[in-house]
A and B are shown apart, each in its own frame.
Chain A
Amino acid sequence: ETGVTQSPTHLIKTRGQQVTLRCSSQSGHNTVSWYQQALGQGPQFIFQYYREEENGRGNFPPRFSGLQFPNYSSELNVNALELDDSALYLCASSLGDLTENGYTFGSGTRLTVV
């Protein structure tokens, strides 16, 4: 079992709704990070979880929240969706001390808010 898997691949939501995105870490990885990538931009760090605890957070409002489970899979929850939340959401996993292999990214979830 290799790689990071994200679900769903595409999603359309209405402004004001809530959404949950899911990520399965690469086997053996205990750290998961979430990013938001707008079209034509670099990924923006949302937060990182290490062994089920949040250990870093970017400049995102509290309506962006997350969880990491004992099997190191993770969820990203976004409440009260806004049009500007439309983006590609990327999940990445790693070992706690980053190795030469860097972060392993999933293929992302494309969220469209209408």
Chain B
Amino acid sequence: SQQGEEDPQALSIQEGENATMNCSYKTSINNLQWYRQNSGRGLVHLILIRSNEREKHSGRLRVTLDTSKKSSSLLITASRAADTASYFCATDAHTGGFKTIFGAGTRLFVKA
């Protein structure tokens, strides 16, 4: 499969708790992105981290990148019911032609 791997596949937490999702990938990358998708519609870009960066913050989001382990994590702090969605990581790679490879996603459910 071309896809990266994400874990957990599904996560259920209480409102106010933190949610952590992990992503692993296989090839050398230029950057890694995280997206959110509600109800099988379009994806919304959350954050992009470049291969020379190790950590990035945006509001309640914190992303880390470990290129030696080919892995990334997304932390959502103080989760809200509105954060309920599927979260995907994506990597852009230029080996053998350009490709964007998405993980299989983590389904997050935040209980009010």
Q: Give chain A's interface residues, CB within 8 Å of chain B.
A: 4, 33, 35, 37, 39, 41-45, 48, 55-59, 88, 90, 92, 98-108
Contact = CB atoms under 8 A, between A and B. Distances in A.
Contacts of A107: 41-42
Contacts of A58: 2, 99
Contacts of A98: 30-31, 48, 92
B102 interface: yes
| Shortest Cβ-Cβ A-B pairs, 8 listed | A56-B98, A102-B45, A42-B102, A105-B42, A107-B42, A105-B43, A43-B102, A42-B104
A42 B48 contact: no
Contacts, number: 74
Q: Is the interface of B mostly helix, strand, loop or mixed?
A: strand
Interface string B75-93: 0000000000000101010
Nearest to B33: A102
A33 B100 contact: yes
Interface centre among A99, A100, A107, A108 (most CB of B within 10 A): A100
B102 A100 contact: no
B97 A57 contact: yes
Given A42-B105, A88-B40, A107-B41, A48 B100 contact: yes
A21 B35 CA distance: 23
